[in-house]
């Protein structure tokens, strides 16, 4: 069976690349719901339905463990999926998100003020603030929605993205850490680091592979069922020439195909 990675578009390929670099022996299945991109401006009901459909599709494609790389889907749908959907639909499958691992890293080094930049839906859910305060109740958390960034990244318009990064960075100058709370944002990591040289920028592509490796070590009942032939399958719900080029920049040898 496979390690599955789900995202609303192509941003999750960045995390998938970090998984493959750290654990190349496993079989991977990537699914991006690009037909409904971006999730960040959708209602909670639509996000839940899209994510549930994706889980069904990935389970049908033999995913044993699924990482919801999309922060928006994690914030809106993960709890329902873990507590209600999976127990009745596929109780032997594990579904994990990206928020808790990110929060665990964010509170390292005695952070006093943590910034979060994410999609509108993720910020609206306040999931990062909630989870951070569960660990450090006195922590100052600054949350900012950046609805323009995902469309700019998906359209390969990094000039526009740079302008927005500069604008949003002004809100985080007093933070000691900044969570890039969207799977697409690692592609803007250098821009944020340059704009905020005194702030520790927390990017999920740098932390998720070690978190997944640790999880598999602690759960041999899952790890033992994973295929180790180095197979890769990358699929999206809507495909065009532009998305193929974006994917090829990350994985030149693995074709992106329509589901």
> What is the DSSP secondary-structure string of 169-212?
HGGGTT-SEEEEESTTGGGGHHHHHHH-TTSEEE-GGGTHHHHH
Eight-state DSSP code of residue 238? S
Task: Return residue ranges of the chain for CATH 3.40.50.1860.
Answer: 2-97+207-258, 100-203
The whole-model pTM stands at 0.93
Give the three-state DSSP class for 116.
strand
Q: Would you state the structure tokens that stand for residue 1, as one six-digit string?
A: 């069976």
Contacts of 138 (CB under 8 A, 6+ apart): none
Closest CA to 35 of 23, 49, 24, 22: 49
pLDDT for 153: 87
CATH fold, domain 100-203, is Rossmann fold (3.40.50)
Give the span between the Cα atoms of 120 and 149, in whole angstroms: 11
Measured on CA atoms in the order 174, 179, 183, 188, is the torsion positive or negative? Answer: positive
pLDDT for 37: 87
Point out the residues that are catalytic: 70, 182
Within a 10 A sphere around the Cβ of 26, how many other Cβ atoms?
A: 22
Alpha carbon 248 to chain centroid, angstroms: 19
pLDDT for 245: 86
pLDDT for 154: 80
pLDDT for 242: 80
pLDDT for 246: 84
Bridging pattern class, strands 232-236 and 256-258 = parallel
pLDDT for 243: 85
Alpha carbon 85 to chain centroid, angstroms: 20
Q: Would you state the structure tokens that stand for residue 113, as one six-digit string?
A: 């003020």
SS3 readout for 62-96: CEEEEEECCHHHHHHHHHHHHHHHHHHHCCCCEEE
Number of residues in the chain: 259
CATH fold, domain 2-97+207-258, is Rossmann fold (3.40.50)
Residues of the chain with pLDDT under 50: none
pLDDT for 236: 97
């Amino acid at each position: 069976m496979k390690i599955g990675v789900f995202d609303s578009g192509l941003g999750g390929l960045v995390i998938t690349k970090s998984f493959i670099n750290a654990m190349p022996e496993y079989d991977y299945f990537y699914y991006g719901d690009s037909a409904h991109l971006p999730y960040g401006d959708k209602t909670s009901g639509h996000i839940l339905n899209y994510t549930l459909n994706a889980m069904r599709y990935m389970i049908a494609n033999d995913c044993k463990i699924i990482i919801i790389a999309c922060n928006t889907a994690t914030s809106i749908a993960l709890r329902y999926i873990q507590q209600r959907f999976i127990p009745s639909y596929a109780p032997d499958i594990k579904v994990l998100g990206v928020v808790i691992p990110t929060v665990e890293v964010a509170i390292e080094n005695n952070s006093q003020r943590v910034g979060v930049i994410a999609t509108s839906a993720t910020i609206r859910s306040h999931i990062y603030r909630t989870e951070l305060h569960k660990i450090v109740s006195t922590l100052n958390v600054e949350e900012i929605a950046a609805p323009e960034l995902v469309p700019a990244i998906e359209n390969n318009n990094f000039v526009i993205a740079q302008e927005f990064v500069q604008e949003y960075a002004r809100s985080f100058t007093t933070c000691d850490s900044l969570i890039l709370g969207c799977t697409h944002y690692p592609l803007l990591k250098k821009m944020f680091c340059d704009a905020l040289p005194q702030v520790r920028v927390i990017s999920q592509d740098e932390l998720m592979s070690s978190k997944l490796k640790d999880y598999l070590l602690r759960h041999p009942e899952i790890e033992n069922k994973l295929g180790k032939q180095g197979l890769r399958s990358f699929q999206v719900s809507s495909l065009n020439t532009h998305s193929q080029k974006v994917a090829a920049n990350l994985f030149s040898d693995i074709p992106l195909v329509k589901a």
